[in-house]
Structure 1
Amino acid sequence: MEQQEYAVGATRVAAGGPDGRRGAAGRGTADAALAVHRAGFLPAAAPTGADAAPGAAAESRADGPQAAGPDLSPDPGLLRLAHWFAAAGPGTADDLCTASFGLYPARHLGAPAEPADPGVSWWHGPTAHGATVARARRARAAGALRRARRDEAALPVVRSGAKPGTPGRHRKPERVRLLPGTAAEAQDRSTAGLPDGALAGGALAGGAAVGGAAAGAGLPAAETTAGELPAVELPDAERRIAARLLLAHPLVTASGPHADGFPLILRHRDWLTERFDTLLGYRLVVGPRHARLYKAGLGPGAARRLEHPATGAPFTPAGYAQLSLALALLVDAPERLRYGRLLDAMRTAAPGLTAEPADLAMALAALAAWQVLGDLPADPADTDVVLTVDRELARAVPAGPPALAADATDLVRRAAEAEPATAVRRLLAETPAVLAADLPEDQRTWLLEHRLSGPAALAEFLGLEAELRAEGVALLDPAAELTDLALPGADTLAQATLLLVERLVEEVRPLPGEATDGDVPIPDALIDGVLGDITDEYGLPTHYLADRTALRRDALDLLHRLGLITPTPRTTWLLRPPAARYAPAPDLHPVPGTGRHCRPAPAPAREEQRA
């Protein structure tokens, strides 16, 4: 059954196309609110003109503190969705939000590695730190952990990142060897007195920015030199900017934070509508005051979630429930609505959906960020404040009421349904990396048959770079713009996480010829040991020093959301092949680590005795 039928609650809605593609919470969908009205799920719109009762127009324009007006009628589909959110666990609630709203941003890795043969594994290929440099290697002791050597033969070497003036207790100071007489060497001498405040990967983050504008426009970095503007036709550049903006922010308004890009969307809406429909099966609706790209779901375990616009706190299931409940009332609310009346209507519509004040505040903050609601009251107890409601935006937020889905799990499944080509292209456009082992048989077959043409079409459309490896494909954004998570990043957590993942790769990645299913188990003791070394070496902020558990939780969460690790049913973690692109270099026979949190390699004598 076509997704559009369940999405809008109508008995029949035209959807899909002659190619048989399905999915796309908005592909070929009529206006959600109109379809629901026609199906009889919502009360009829208020009469206008000569048929309107005296004073009705005034009530629709302003609901003052003393005006009662008619009762707010909730949308049945969104009300049902609110109950599903309330009964869901945290991960399921995130997947349900992705499927029902489709307002998630694209997420891509940056800093492309050196070119390599597509048959090379991520485990053993070039890394994002620089090209592989041949070096003499020694065989490691049996059972020893694999920590990479950083010797004079290893170029380039990432800076230690220890505090200025101190080499760090647990590792020797490192420096980058520059060839004498080069411009880089002269610049290094001129800036030698500056403090080195970046952790490992800081040089990488800076290097990724070089040529970022060219990469964002879809140009190879080599074609753009210093002082020379890239030769791009203006319409092509504008279309690419507009496409990237919509993929990063599926709801763009003419007066919102991304208003500068709205004229480009208006100017190229026909071309954008056709390309999004052809490549991804997404429906693009552009009105005079907003543009909405209706994305499809990503299936279970997509690790996408809403966050509080101000604090960044992740939404709870109760917060999602309050968001859906408020939307159920706002799609047909008057343009001016008393805050207290909205709260009363929410309690009346769903008396069983009790929530903490923080959950309600989180939901209303998200609606205000999307401009569905105007300014919220500074004091939540001030219920006489009159809110401004934008019904058009309220109706644009949901991909459609879940009229035909049996339950939350069914909705998540239906929202991700699509033909193999469309499903794989969506994953390429929205996720950091697509591994063939993760795909169903039909999608894996399509990816293997279209390894070059499939990613290339999206890369051209969005200004990305395709990285092909034996395990799968990643579309990279060297400009680090088309993502909601950055690695490397400027904040302490991102830098500590980069150190963590590079050391985990050095310790556990398989050697050439070792049997592996792709993912590699990570011992819990290794995670704790590496984080202990990082904390000692780099002097992390006080809250992480006092609460090592918080550092572990936040760092692993970031790696999981970036697709670099994945959990197992036994609450352990697996390291994924794309994580190897963040190792300093593919040194496959390193000497064991010496940090005080790392376990020493067993002595040969002990091995003989054990044998």
Structure 2
Amino acid sequence: MEQQEYATGTTRVAGGTSDGREGGARRGTTDAGIAVRGVRPDGPQEGARPEHGRARAGGSAGAAEGLSPDPGLLRLAHWFAEASPGTADDLCAASFGLYPARHFGVLAEPGAGPADAEVSWWHGPTAHAPAVLRLREARPVRGVRRARRDADAPDAALPDAGAGRPGRHRKPERSRAAACPLDRSAAAERRIAARLLLAHPLVTAAGPHADGFPLIRRHRDWLTERFDTLLGYRLVVGPWHARLCKAGLGPGGARRLEHPGTGVPFTPGAYAQLALALALLVDAPEELPLGRLLEAMDTAAPGLAADPAELAAALAALADWQVLTEAPAQADPAAVLTVDRELARAVPAGPPALADDAADLIRRAAAAEPAIAVRRRLAETPAALGADLTEDQRAWLDRHRHTGPAALTDFLGLEAELRAEGVALLDPADELTDLALPGTGMLAQATLLLVERLVEEVRPLPGESAGTDVSIPDALIDGVLGDIADEYGLPAGWRRDYLADRTALRRDALDLLQRMGLITRAPLGTRPPGWLLRAPAARYAPAADLLPAPGTGRHSRPEPPAVPGQPGPRTQQRA
């Protein structure tokens, strides 16, 4: 199978490692890794893990004088600076591939109706539950459940790793695994490791998901083969980190990067500072004064002026990825950064050295045969809708409507929801997603109320030809949000800034719905411009009333005119 090559100004290194050290995928030269540059003469010896600390800082200042940027990453920094916000998000996904998977969580209500590929989301079984004042326990930090398990420990030592129970988070293991406890535990470990990598593509032995790293190391050969076969992703496993190189989501499939502390979205300038800093850190000494890094950034790209907030966001992201041990709270030039060059070289995943421009890089990174492209959408996005696929991808999904998703449900422990408009893979545990809807916060509650009412107002009636998307009048959005805020805001203790600023509430609620794939912007040139409600949104609304009474609202459907001497259509149907 053809597999996307990734390079940044690169040299190939045999053995599947990111920088030539031992402990990679161990599949020989066929799984060679990519190194941004060779290890410097002053770097650590092969196979040795560098020790952080000021004890190794001798000569660091002198080494810093020789800082030079990686040409591919420097080129990338300029592309980021010139990009629009949406394109910059796509470019980040294509070049770094560090975005998490995103899935719907709640299953459709059992017994609510037929659940097959001929049923539309508009009128099929729903996952609706009243959103108002719904109180649930706070969820732990999002991520795949960790498993502490010694190699010789009994199966009971691995919680939630064995065969699942019906309706629970784990799918039941197949008969072959159930027949052998050792096979069952191995299959559970592989699933936990695969979910962890899909949720967190860079896992380190000392990071927040260190508990799962031994499982990745233990099953690295199997995981490498499955990620390659199913998704076309390259997995590199070294002694201290594991890197799943995702391939981007193509134009319009943006997964924006956010400040890990504040949640503020990255701007094109912040992305540019991130790529520029990384261009210097891949070949930097282990101890590097911040002032020297800033000076080298100015020298390498004098046209990319560093806004303090954008620089702070870039350094915070590098610290979150553990490229830097700690990001300074303020831009103090005297602060000394501790650099992990191995992780710095593991961050780039896309091919800027091969691309002509930003658009070409985004296209190249996401290019794949139809089967791989569709499975990537299923694994990474809330739903794969036929309207969003190319003709050959749509044809493949139609031919493999059941068998295509089945391979991923077994691999990742997800549940398939097949509908006329497309397929969604659900994660009832809400672990394999960076966003959750329904959610526990005020914004998530308001957003769920909004989508419920929008669906009830504009959902097509049975027999109407609606397709995947239905237009939402702007006045309807404003009116529904106003009604929701007036009705539930104060009793539910919603944030007063949202109650006072309905524009901010509208902006953030629509942003959440768009990121979950429940609404989308109308195509350019549409008059008036606005939003489209997508079919999967109906799974969060009450079940459709097949004989709805005419409403009195501005956007309600009128009662069809009655024929003189005969009862109205609805009266006839009800009779």
TM-score category by the smaller chain? Answer: 0.7 to 0.9
Cα distance change on mapping 1:254 and 1:591 into 2, 3 Å: same
TM superposition shift of 1:224: 9.5
Indicate the residue corresponding to 1:94 in structure 2.
Answer: 89
Cα distance change on mapping 1:517 and 1:28 into 2, 3 Å: farther
Indicate the residue corresponding to 2:123 in structure 1.
Answer: 124
After alignment, is 359-368 or 282-291 more displaced? 282-291
| In 1: Cα distance, 2:117 partner to 2:326 partner | 52
| In 2: Cα distance, 1:294 partner to 1:604 partner | 55
Cα distance change on mapping 1:305 and 1:607 into 2, 3 Å: farther
| In 1: Cα distance, 2:44 partner to 2:506 partner | 62
* Cα-to-partner distance string for 1:405-462 (whole Å, 9 max, x where unaligned): 1110011000000011111111100000001121111111110011111101100100
| In 1: Cα distance, 2:548 partner to 2:243 partner | 51
| In 2: Cα distance, 1:264 partner to 1:29 partner | 20
Indicate the residue corresponding to 1:529 in structure 2.
Answer: 479
Which of these residues, 386, 391, 396, is aligned with residue 336 of structure 2? 386
Indicate the residue corresponding to 2:99 in structure 1.
Answer: 104
- Does structure 1 residue 563 correspond to structure 2 residue 532? no
* Cα-to-partner distance string for 1:355-374 (whole Å, 9 max, x where unaligned): 31000000000000111001
Kindly provide the amino acid, as one letter, of the partner of residue 419 in structure 1. Answer: E
Cα distance change on mapping 1:476 and 1:423 into 2, 3 Å: same
Kindly provide the amino acid, as one letter, of the partner of residue 599 in structure 1. Answer: R
What are the within-5 Å matches in structure 2 for residues 29-428 of structure 1? 30-33=32-35, 45-46=40-41, 61-62=56-57, 67=62, 69-113=64-108, 114=110, 116-129=115-128, 159=130, 161=132, 197-198=133-134, 219=164, 221-222=166-167, 233-380=184-331, 382-428=332-378
TM superposition shift of 1:584: 1.6
Q: Tell me the SS of whatever aligns to 1:274.
A: helix
Check conservation: 1:315, 1:362, Cα contact below 8 A.
yes
- Does structure 1 residue 572 correspond to structure 2 residue 530? yes
TM superposition shift of 1:221: 2.2
- Does structure 1 residue 459 correspond to structure 2 residue 409? yes
Cα distance change on mapping 1:6 and 1:69 into 2, 3 Å: closer
TM superposition shift of 1:293: 0.3
Q: Tell me the SS of whatever aligns to 1:221.
A: coil
Unmatched tracts of structure 1, length 5 or more = 15-26, 38-43, 51-57, 130-157, 162-196, 206-212
TM superposition shift of 1:66: 6.2
Check conservation: 1:217, 1:240, Cα contact below 8 A.
no
| In 2: Cα distance, 1:279 partner to 1:45 partner | 36
TM superposition shift of 1:473: 0.4
Kindly provide the amino acid, as one letter, of the partner of residue 276 in structure 2. Answer: L
TM superposition shift of 1:376: 2.3
| In 1: Cα distance, 2:168 partner to 2:262 partner | 41
- Kindly indicate whether structure 1 or structure 2 has the higher relative contact order, using CA contacts under 8 Å at least 6 residues apart: 1
Q: Tell me the SS of whatever aligns to 1:32.
A: strand
Which of these residues, 503, 507, 511, is aligned with residue 549 of structure 1? 503
TM superposition shift of 1:263: 1.1
TM superposition shift of 1:223: 7.9
Check conservation: 2:6, 2:34, Cα contact below 8 A.
no
Check conservation: 2:350, 2:361, Cα contact below 8 A.
no
Q: Tell me the SS of whatever aligns to 2:7.
A: helix
Indicate the residue corresponding to 2:50 in structure 1.
Answer: none
| In 2: Cα distance, 1:604 partner to 1:235 partner | 61
- Does structure 1 residue 587 correspond to structure 2 residue 545? yes
Check conservation: 1:59, 1:69, Cα contact below 8 A.
no
| In 2: Cα distance, 1:121 partner to 1:12 partner | 48
Check conservation: 1:61, 1:334, Cα contact below 8 A.
no
Cα distance change on mapping 1:304 and 1:224 into 2, 3 Å: closer
Check conservation: 2:259, 2:316, Cα contact below 8 A.
yes
After alignment, is 3-12 or 495-504 more displaced? 3-12
| In 1: Cα distance, 2:11 partner to 2:237 partner | 25
Q: Tell me the SS of whatever aligns to 2:87.
A: helix
Q: Tell me the SS of whatever aligns to 1:292.
A: strand
| In 2: Cα distance, 1:457 partner to 1:324 partner | 36
| In 2: Cα distance, 1:322 partner to 1:586 partner | 49
TM superposition shift of 1:117: 2.3
TM superposition shift of 1:537: 1.0
Check conservation: 1:122, 1:581, Cα contact below 8 A.
yes
Check conservation: 2:260, 2:320, Cα contact below 8 A.
yes
Check conservation: 1:217, 1:463, Cα contact below 8 A.
no
| In 1: Cα distance, 2:370 partner to 2:75 partner | 30
TM superposition shift of 1:377: 2.4
Matched residue count: 501
TM superposition shift of 1:4: 5.0
Task: Please give the root-mean-square deviation of Cα atoms over the aligned residues, in Å.
Answer: 3.3
| In 2: Cα distance, 1:316 partner to 1:363 partner | 10
| In 1: Cα distance, 2:348 partner to 2:369 partner | 23
Cα distance change on mapping 1:383 and 1:64 into 2, 3 Å: farther
Kindly provide the amino acid, as one letter, of the partner of residue 7 in structure 1. Answer: A
Check conservation: 1:64, 1:338, Cα contact below 8 A.
no
* Cα-to-partner distance string for 1:477-531 (whole Å, 9 max, x where unaligned): 0111100010000001111111111111100011111122321000000000100
Indicate the residue corresponding to 1:433 in structure 2.
Answer: 383
Indicate the residue corresponding to 1:149 in structure 2.
Answer: none
Cα distance change on mapping 1:601 and 1:123 into 2, 3 Å: closer
Cα distance change on mapping 1:239 and 1:517 into 2, 3 Å: same
TM superposition shift of 1:65: 8.6
Query: Percent identity of the aligned residues?
Result: 71
| In 2: Cα distance, 1:605 partner to 1:416 partner | 48
| In 1: Cα distance, 2:435 partner to 2:288 partner | 36
Check conservation: 2:5, 2:351, Cα contact below 8 A.
no
Check conservation: 1:218, 1:462, Cα contact below 8 A.
no
Kindly provide the amino acid, as one letter, of the partner of residue 307 in structure 2. Answer: E
Indicate the residue corresponding to 2:448 in structure 1.
Answer: 498
Indicate the residue corresponding to 2:48 in structure 1.
Answer: none
Q: Tell me the SS of whatever aligns to 1:512.
A: coil
Indicate the residue corresponding to 2:147 in structure 1.
Answer: none
TM superposition shift of 1:589: 3.5
Kindly provide the amino acid, as one letter, of the partner of residue 198 in structure 1. Answer: R
Indicate the residue corresponding to 2:18 in structure 1.
Answer: none
Cα distance change on mapping 1:160 and 1:401 into 2, 3 Å: closer
Cα distance change on mapping 1:476 and 1:421 into 2, 3 Å: same
| In 2: Cα distance, 1:9 partner to 1:379 partner | 32
Check conservation: 1:374, 1:387, Cα contact below 8 A.
yes
| In 2: Cα distance, 1:259 partner to 1:332 partner | 26
TM superposition shift of 1:554: 0.5
Check conservation: 1:252, 1:292, Cα contact below 8 A.
yes
Indicate the residue corresponding to 2:461 in structure 1.
Answer: 511
Cα distance change on mapping 1:517 and 1:49 into 2, 3 Å: closer
Q: Tell me the SS of whatever aligns to 1:398.
A: coil
| In 2: Cα distance, 1:500 partner to 1:441 partner | 33
Cα distance change on mapping 1:108 and 1:471 into 2, 3 Å: same
Q: Tell me the SS of whatever aligns to 2:193.
A: helix
Check conservation: 2:371, 2:396, Cα contact below 8 A.
yes
Cα distance change on mapping 1:456 and 1:64 into 2, 3 Å: same
TM-score, normalisation: structure 2: 0.80
TM superposition shift of 1:607: 12
* Cα-to-partner distance string for 1:4-63 (whole Å, 9 max, x where unaligned): 55634469999xxxxxxxxxxxx96643325x66xxxxxx8327899xxxxxxx999426
TM-score, normalisation: structure 1: 0.76
